[in-house]
Chain A
Amino acid sequence: MKRLDAMRAIYPELERSVVVTIMGAVAAELQSLGHRPNFFYLQHAMGLASSLGLGIALARPGLPVVVLDGDGSLLMNLGGLTTLARYRPGNLTHVVFDNESLLSVGGFPTATSTGSDLAAIAAGAGVPRTATVRTLEEFRAAFTGALAAKELTTIVAKVEAVGPSGYVTDLSLLENRFQFQRYLREIATAAPRPRDDF
Protein backbone atom coordinates (compact mmCIF):
# COMPACT_ATOMS: atom_id res chain seq x y z
CA MET A 1 0.00 0.00 0.00
CA LYS A 2 1.24 3.45 -0.90
CA ARG A 3 0.53 6.30 1.52
CA LEU A 4 -0.73 8.49 -1.33
CA ASP A 5 -3.30 5.85 -2.32
CA ALA A 6 -4.31 5.40 1.32
CA MET A 7 -4.97 9.13 1.71
CA ARG A 8 -6.85 9.17 -1.59
CA ALA A 9 -9.06 6.34 -0.29
CA ILE A 10 -10.17 8.38 2.74
CA TYR A 11 -10.09 11.84 1.12
CA PRO A 12 -13.92 12.22 1.13
CA GLU A 13 -13.90 11.73 4.91
CA LEU A 14 -10.91 14.04 5.34
CA GLU A 15 -12.83 16.78 3.50
CA ARG A 16 -15.43 16.64 6.26
CA SER A 17 -12.96 16.46 9.18
CA VAL A 18 -10.40 18.69 10.85
CA VAL A 19 -7.07 17.24 9.72
CA VAL A 20 -3.61 17.65 11.27
CA THR A 21 -0.62 16.10 9.49
CA ILE A 22 3.04 15.70 10.20
CA MET A 23 5.79 17.16 8.06
CA GLY A 24 7.37 15.84 4.91
CA ALA A 25 5.81 13.31 2.59
CA VAL A 26 2.41 13.19 4.34
CA ALA A 27 1.97 16.97 4.06
CA ALA A 28 3.19 17.16 0.45
CA GLU A 29 1.11 14.19 -0.71
CA LEU A 30 -2.10 15.38 0.94
CA GLN A 31 -1.61 18.78 -0.68
CA SER A 32 -1.12 17.02 -4.04
CA LEU A 33 -4.58 15.47 -3.60
CA GLY A 34 -6.02 18.90 -2.92
CA HIS A 35 -5.48 21.36 -0.10
CA ARG A 36 -8.50 22.37 1.97
CA PRO A 37 -8.78 25.09 4.65
CA ASN A 38 -9.54 22.40 7.24
CA PHE A 39 -6.10 20.77 6.69
CA PHE A 40 -3.17 21.87 8.89
CA TYR A 41 0.35 20.65 8.17
CA LEU A 42 2.71 20.74 11.17
CA GLN A 43 5.88 21.13 9.15
CA HIS A 44 8.30 20.61 12.03
CA ALA A 45 7.95 19.82 15.75
CA MET A 46 8.22 16.08 15.17
CA GLY A 47 5.96 14.17 17.52
CA LEU A 48 3.58 16.98 18.34
CA ALA A 49 0.92 16.42 15.65
CA SER A 50 -0.95 14.01 17.93
CA SER A 51 -0.70 16.45 20.86
CA LEU A 52 -1.94 19.29 18.66
CA GLY A 53 -4.83 17.13 17.51
CA LEU A 54 -5.63 16.35 21.15
CA GLY A 55 -5.71 20.07 21.91
CA ILE A 56 -8.24 20.65 19.12
CA ALA A 57 -10.30 17.62 20.09
CA LEU A 58 -10.53 18.73 23.73
CA ALA A 59 -11.24 22.34 22.82
CA ARG A 60 -13.94 21.46 20.30
CA PRO A 61 -15.51 18.10 21.23
CA GLY A 62 -18.12 18.45 18.50
CA LEU A 63 -15.59 18.39 15.65
CA PRO A 64 -14.21 15.18 14.09
CA VAL A 65 -10.41 15.48 14.26
CA VAL A 66 -8.05 13.28 12.22
CA VAL A 67 -4.29 13.19 12.88
CA LEU A 68 -2.12 11.80 10.08
CA ASP A 69 1.05 10.77 11.92
CA GLY A 70 4.13 8.76 10.98
CA ASP A 71 6.29 6.14 12.65
CA GLY A 72 9.31 8.42 13.00
CA SER A 73 7.24 11.23 14.48
CA LEU A 74 5.24 9.04 16.84
CA LEU A 75 8.41 7.37 18.11
CA MET A 76 9.51 10.83 19.30
CA ASN A 77 6.38 11.23 21.44
CA LEU A 78 5.37 7.79 22.67
CA GLY A 79 4.47 9.33 26.02
CA GLY A 80 1.87 11.37 24.18
CA LEU A 81 -0.03 8.14 23.48
CA THR A 82 -0.58 7.78 27.24
CA THR A 83 -2.00 11.32 27.31
CA LEU A 84 -4.29 10.58 24.34
CA ALA A 85 -5.47 7.44 26.09
CA ARG A 86 -5.98 9.23 29.40
CA TYR A 87 -8.44 11.74 27.91
CA ARG A 88 -9.53 9.46 25.01
CA PRO A 89 -11.58 12.00 23.07
CA GLY A 90 -14.16 10.16 20.99
CA ASN A 91 -13.79 12.73 18.21
CA LEU A 92 -10.10 11.92 17.54
CA THR A 93 -8.89 9.40 14.96
CA HIS A 94 -5.14 8.85 14.93
CA VAL A 95 -3.65 7.37 11.75
CA VAL A 96 0.03 6.38 11.73
CA PHE A 97 1.57 5.82 8.31
CA ASP A 98 4.34 3.36 9.13
CA ASN A 99 6.95 3.03 6.40
CA GLU A 100 9.56 1.81 8.88
CA SER A 101 11.91 4.62 7.97
CA LEU A 102 12.70 8.32 8.19
CA LEU A 103 12.11 8.73 4.49
CA SER A 104 12.60 12.46 4.14
CA VAL A 105 16.11 12.34 5.57
CA GLY A 106 17.34 9.46 3.47
CA GLY A 107 15.47 6.40 4.64
CA PHE A 108 17.17 5.77 7.98
CA PRO A 109 15.29 2.72 9.34
CA THR A 110 13.16 3.28 12.45
CA ALA A 111 12.59 0.77 15.23
CA THR A 112 9.38 -0.43 13.59
CA SER A 113 11.69 -2.04 11.00
CA THR A 114 13.12 -4.24 13.73
CA GLY A 115 9.87 -5.27 15.34
CA SER A 116 8.55 -2.40 17.46
CA ASP A 117 4.76 -2.55 17.13
CA LEU A 118 3.12 0.88 17.33
CA ALA A 119 -0.44 -0.49 17.50
CA ALA A 120 0.56 -2.70 20.43
CA ILE A 121 2.26 0.26 22.09
CA ALA A 122 -0.90 2.36 21.61
CA ALA A 123 -3.06 -0.44 23.02
CA GLY A 124 -0.67 -0.81 25.93
CA ALA A 125 -0.90 2.92 26.55
CA GLY A 126 -4.65 2.51 26.88
CA VAL A 127 -5.96 3.64 23.48
CA PRO A 128 -9.32 1.82 23.39
CA ARG A 129 -9.34 0.88 19.67
CA THR A 130 -6.24 0.00 17.68
CA ALA A 131 -5.52 -1.78 14.41
CA THR A 132 -2.66 -2.55 12.06
CA VAL A 133 -3.65 -2.65 8.38
CA ARG A 134 -1.72 -3.56 5.24
CA THR A 135 -4.15 -3.13 2.33
CA LEU A 136 -6.25 -0.25 1.04
CA GLU A 137 -9.45 -2.17 1.72
CA GLU A 138 -8.44 -2.87 5.32
CA PHE A 139 -7.37 0.73 5.81
CA ARG A 140 -10.55 2.23 4.47
CA ALA A 141 -12.68 -0.13 6.57
CA ALA A 142 -10.66 0.60 9.73
CA PHE A 143 -10.82 4.35 9.15
CA THR A 144 -14.53 4.61 8.44
CA GLY A 145 -15.15 2.22 11.33
CA ALA A 146 -13.20 4.51 13.66
CA LEU A 147 -15.20 7.57 12.59
CA ALA A 148 -18.47 5.70 13.08
CA ALA A 149 -17.43 4.30 16.47
CA LYS A 150 -16.75 7.78 17.88
CA GLU A 151 -14.08 6.29 20.12
CA LEU A 152 -10.39 7.17 20.19
CA THR A 153 -8.66 4.94 17.63
CA THR A 154 -5.04 4.51 16.53
CA ILE A 155 -4.72 2.88 13.09
CA VAL A 156 -1.21 1.85 12.05
CA ALA A 157 -1.16 1.65 8.25
CA LYS A 158 1.87 -0.17 6.90
CA VAL A 159 2.95 1.70 3.74
CA GLU A 160 5.78 1.53 1.23
CA ALA A 161 8.80 3.75 1.85
CA VAL A 162 8.17 5.91 -1.20
CA GLY A 163 7.23 9.55 -1.38
CA PRO A 164 7.24 12.65 -3.51
CA SER A 165 10.40 14.07 -5.06
CA GLY A 166 10.24 17.20 -2.89
CA TYR A 167 8.59 18.42 0.28
CA VAL A 168 8.37 22.20 -0.06
CA THR A 169 5.05 23.35 -1.49
CA ASP A 170 3.86 26.83 -2.41
CA LEU A 171 1.59 26.95 0.64
CA SER A 172 3.46 28.99 3.25
CA LEU A 173 3.41 27.77 6.84
CA LEU A 174 1.77 30.89 8.24
CA GLU A 175 -0.77 31.16 5.44
CA ASN A 176 -1.86 27.61 6.23
CA ARG A 177 -1.93 28.31 9.98
CA PHE A 178 -4.10 31.44 9.80
CA GLN A 179 -6.40 29.97 7.14
CA PHE A 180 -6.93 26.90 9.35
CA GLN A 181 -7.62 29.01 12.45
CA ARG A 182 -10.10 31.15 10.51
CA TYR A 183 -11.86 28.01 9.24
CA LEU A 184 -12.25 26.71 12.81
CA ARG A 185 -13.53 30.09 13.95
CA GLU A 186 -16.08 30.32 11.15
CA ILE A 187 -17.54 26.86 11.63
CA ALA A 188 -17.97 27.66 15.33
CA THR A 189 -20.53 30.30 14.40
CA ALA A 190 -21.98 28.74 11.23
CA ALA A 191 -25.10 26.60 11.20
CA PRO A 192 -24.32 22.86 11.09
CA ARG A 193 -24.09 21.50 7.58
CA PRO A 194 -26.30 18.55 6.59
CA ARG A 195 -23.34 16.16 6.51
CA ASP A 196 -22.01 17.12 9.94
CA ASP A 197 -23.07 14.06 11.85
CA PHE A 198 -20.64 14.57 14.75
Chain B
Amino acid sequence: MPVSVSSSTLIYSALKDAGVRIVSALPETWLVHLIRMAEEDPAMTLVRLAKEEEGVGISAGAHLAGVKSAMLMQNHGFLAAINGIVSCAQLYRIPLLMLISDRGGFGERDPWQTEGGGVTAHVLEALRIPVDRLDQPDQVGKKVAQAATLAGSASRPVALLLGRDLMWEDA
Protein backbone atom coordinates (compact mmCIF):
# COMPACT_ATOMS: atom_id res chain seq x y z
CA MET B 1 0.00 0.00 0.00
CA PRO B 2 1.54 3.33 -1.03
CA VAL B 3 0.50 5.11 2.18
CA SER B 4 3.75 6.39 3.66
CA VAL B 5 4.89 4.38 6.67
CA SER B 6 7.73 6.79 7.37
CA SER B 7 5.49 9.88 7.39
CA SER B 8 2.90 8.05 9.51
CA THR B 9 5.66 7.15 11.98
CA LEU B 10 6.75 10.79 12.16
CA ILE B 11 3.20 11.95 12.86
CA TYR B 12 2.63 9.25 15.47
CA SER B 13 5.90 10.07 17.23
CA ALA B 14 4.94 13.75 17.28
CA LEU B 15 1.57 12.92 18.85
CA LYS B 16 3.32 10.86 21.51
CA ASP B 17 5.79 13.68 22.16
CA ALA B 18 2.83 16.05 22.61
CA GLY B 19 1.54 13.79 25.38
CA VAL B 20 -1.46 12.37 23.49
CA ARG B 21 -2.85 9.27 25.23
CA ILE B 22 -6.23 8.85 23.55
CA VAL B 23 -6.77 8.78 19.78
CA SER B 24 -10.22 8.56 18.22
CA ALA B 25 -10.53 7.52 14.60
CA LEU B 26 -12.54 6.19 11.73
CA PRO B 27 -10.85 4.15 9.02
CA GLU B 28 -9.51 6.07 6.05
CA THR B 29 -6.90 4.89 3.58
CA TRP B 30 -4.27 7.50 4.40
CA LEU B 31 -4.68 6.93 8.14
CA VAL B 32 -4.28 3.15 8.09
CA HIS B 33 -0.76 3.09 9.54
CA LEU B 34 -1.49 5.75 12.15
CA ILE B 35 -4.52 3.82 13.37
CA ARG B 36 -2.49 0.58 13.49
CA MET B 37 0.27 2.29 15.48
CA ALA B 38 -2.26 3.57 18.00
CA GLU B 39 -3.81 0.13 18.28
CA GLU B 40 -0.47 -1.62 18.83
CA ASP B 41 0.77 0.89 21.42
CA PRO B 42 -0.09 -0.30 24.94
CA ALA B 43 0.32 3.26 26.24
CA MET B 44 -2.35 4.60 23.82
CA THR B 45 -6.12 4.16 23.95
CA LEU B 46 -7.58 3.92 20.44
CA VAL B 47 -11.32 4.64 20.25
CA ARG B 48 -12.87 3.38 17.04
CA LEU B 49 -15.94 5.49 16.34
CA ALA B 50 -19.18 4.98 14.48
CA LYS B 51 -19.18 8.65 13.41
CA GLU B 52 -16.57 11.36 13.85
CA GLU B 53 -18.78 13.71 15.88
CA GLU B 54 -18.52 11.24 18.78
CA GLY B 55 -14.80 11.96 18.82
CA VAL B 56 -15.51 15.55 19.87
CA GLY B 57 -17.35 14.28 22.95
CA ILE B 58 -14.63 11.77 23.75
CA SER B 59 -11.90 14.40 23.44
CA ALA B 60 -13.95 16.81 25.56
CA GLY B 61 -14.41 14.21 28.30
CA ALA B 62 -10.74 13.24 28.16
CA HIS B 63 -9.67 16.87 28.39
CA LEU B 64 -11.90 17.62 31.38
CA ALA B 65 -10.50 14.46 33.00
CA GLY B 66 -6.91 15.60 32.40
CA VAL B 67 -5.87 13.44 29.44
CA LYS B 68 -4.64 14.72 26.07
CA SER B 69 -6.22 13.33 22.94
CA ALA B 70 -6.21 13.66 19.17
CA MET B 71 -8.76 13.00 16.43
CA LEU B 72 -7.88 11.27 13.17
CA MET B 73 -10.31 11.78 10.34
CA GLN B 74 -10.65 12.68 6.69
CA ASN B 75 -12.40 15.67 5.16
CA HIS B 76 -15.84 14.11 5.32
CA GLY B 77 -15.30 13.07 8.91
CA PHE B 78 -14.56 16.67 9.76
CA LEU B 79 -17.70 17.76 7.94
CA ALA B 80 -19.70 15.15 9.87
CA ALA B 81 -18.35 16.45 13.19
CA ILE B 82 -19.14 20.13 12.77
CA ASN B 83 -22.11 20.50 15.12
CA GLY B 84 -20.13 18.86 17.91
CA ILE B 85 -17.13 21.07 17.18
CA VAL B 86 -19.27 24.20 17.45
CA SER B 87 -21.75 23.30 20.18
CA CYS B 88 -19.39 21.32 22.41
CA ALA B 89 -15.74 22.23 21.74
CA GLN B 90 -16.14 25.88 20.83
CA LEU B 91 -19.01 26.66 23.21
CA TYR B 92 -17.14 25.07 26.13
CA ARG B 93 -13.59 26.08 25.12
CA ILE B 94 -12.29 22.53 24.66
CA PRO B 95 -8.93 22.04 22.93
CA LEU B 96 -9.18 19.63 19.98
CA LEU B 97 -6.18 18.43 18.00
CA MET B 98 -7.73 17.41 14.69
CA LEU B 99 -5.59 15.66 12.08
CA ILE B 100 -7.52 15.66 8.83
CA SER B 101 -6.31 13.68 5.84
CA ASP B 102 -6.84 16.21 3.05
CA ARG B 103 -8.29 14.15 0.27
CA GLY B 104 -9.84 15.53 -2.89
CA GLY B 105 -7.09 17.87 -4.03
CA PHE B 106 -4.76 17.75 -7.05
CA GLY B 107 -3.92 14.13 -7.85
CA GLU B 108 -7.13 12.71 -6.36
CA ARG B 109 -8.40 9.73 -8.35
CA ASP B 110 -11.56 8.99 -6.34
CA PRO B 111 -14.42 11.14 -7.70
CA TRP B 112 -16.33 10.90 -4.39
CA GLN B 113 -13.57 12.67 -2.48
CA THR B 114 -13.46 15.78 -4.63
CA GLU B 115 -16.32 17.81 -3.13
CA GLY B 116 -15.27 17.43 0.50
CA GLY B 117 -11.71 18.27 -0.34
CA GLY B 118 -12.78 21.45 -2.06
CA VAL B 119 -14.68 22.89 0.89
CA THR B 120 -12.65 21.80 3.93
CA ALA B 121 -10.29 24.78 4.15
CA HIS B 122 -13.18 27.20 3.62
CA VAL B 123 -15.27 25.59 6.34
CA LEU B 124 -12.33 25.65 8.75
CA GLU B 125 -11.92 29.34 8.02
CA ALA B 126 -15.63 30.01 8.53
CA LEU B 127 -15.41 28.27 11.91
CA ARG B 128 -12.35 30.39 12.81
CA ILE B 129 -10.32 27.22 13.44
CA PRO B 130 -6.56 27.78 13.13
CA VAL B 131 -5.19 25.46 10.43
CA ASP B 132 -1.81 24.50 9.03
CA ARG B 133 -0.78 21.96 6.41
CA LEU B 134 1.61 19.05 6.75
CA ASP B 135 3.17 18.41 3.35
CA GLN B 136 6.87 17.77 4.08
CA PRO B 137 8.27 15.16 6.48
CA ASP B 138 10.76 17.57 8.01
CA GLN B 139 7.87 19.86 9.10
CA VAL B 140 5.90 17.23 10.95
CA GLY B 141 7.44 17.21 14.40
CA LYS B 142 7.53 20.96 14.80
CA LYS B 143 4.07 21.65 13.36
CA VAL B 144 2.31 18.96 15.40
CA ALA B 145 3.97 20.29 18.54
CA GLN B 146 2.95 23.86 17.68
CA ALA B 147 -0.64 22.83 16.94
CA ALA B 148 -0.91 20.97 20.25
CA THR B 149 0.53 23.96 22.08
CA LEU B 150 -1.97 26.38 20.54
CA ALA B 151 -4.93 24.06 21.16
CA GLY B 152 -3.97 23.96 24.82
CA SER B 153 -3.19 27.64 25.31
CA ALA B 154 -6.24 28.88 23.40
CA SER B 155 -8.46 26.06 24.70
CA ARG B 156 -9.95 25.79 21.22
CA PRO B 157 -9.95 23.36 18.29
CA VAL B 158 -7.03 23.44 15.85
CA ALA B 159 -6.60 21.51 12.60
CA LEU B 160 -3.69 20.04 10.67
CA LEU B 161 -4.36 19.03 7.08
CA LEU B 162 -2.33 15.97 6.07
CA GLY B 163 -1.37 16.47 2.42
CA ARG B 164 -1.00 13.98 -0.41
CA ASP B 165 2.73 14.61 -0.78
CA LEU B 166 3.25 13.58 2.84
CA MET B 167 0.87 10.62 3.06
CA TRP B 168 0.92 8.99 -0.38
CA GLU B 169 4.14 7.75 -1.94
CA ASP B 170 3.33 7.36 -5.64
CA ALA B 171 1.53 10.70 -5.99
- Which A residues form the contact surface with B (CB < 8 A)? 20, 40, 42-60, 63, 77, 79-80, 82-83, 86-87, 173-174, 177, 180-181, 184-185, 188
Contacts and interface: CB of A to CB of B under 8 A. Distances in A.
Interface residues of B, number: 31
Interface in B8-59: 21-22, 45, 47-51, 53-59
A140 B66 CA distance: 31
B22 A174 contact: no
Interface stretch (B82-90, B98-106, B141-149, B158-166): B82-90
B62 interface: yes
Given A55-B59, A58-B58, A59-B62, A45 B51 contact: no
B62 A58 contact: yes
Contact of B56 (A48, A59, A184): A48
B56 A40 contact: no
A112 B55 CA distance: 26
Contact of B65 (A42, A83, A177, A184): A184
B127 interface: no
A54 to B, nearest CB: 6
A51 B58 contact: yes
B50 A83 contact: yes
> Of A40, A49, A52, A180, which is in contact with the most chain B CB atoms at under 10 Å from its CB?
A52
Interface of B: 21-22, 45, 47-51, 53-67, 69, 83-84, 87-88, 91-93
A45 B87 contact: yes
Mostly, the A contact residues are helix
A180 B47 CA distance: 23
> Of A20, A56, A60, A79, which is in contact with the most chain B CB atoms at under 10 Å from its CB?
A56
A44 B48 contact: no
A44 B88 contact: yes
A60 B92 contact: no
7 contacts: A44-B88, A51-B56, A55-B65, A56-B65, A57-B61, A79-B51, A87-B47
Contact of A40 (B51, B64, B91): B64
Given A48-B84, A83-B54, A87-B47, A55 B91 contact: no
A83 B50 CA distance: 7
Given A45-B87, A45-B88, A188-B66, A51 B61 contact: yes
Given A48-B84, A58-B61, A59-B61, 7 more contacts: A42-B88, A44-B87, A45-B87, A52-B88, A55-B64, A58-B45, A59-B66
B61 A54 contact: yes
A46 B112 CA distance: 29
Contacts of B60: 48, 52, 55
A48 B65 contact: no
B27 to A, nearest CB: 14
Contacts of A42: 88, 92
> Of B51, B57, B58, B59, which is in contact with the most chain A CB atoms at under 10 Å from its CB?
B57
B28 to A, nearest CB: 17
Contacts of B62: 55-56, 58-59
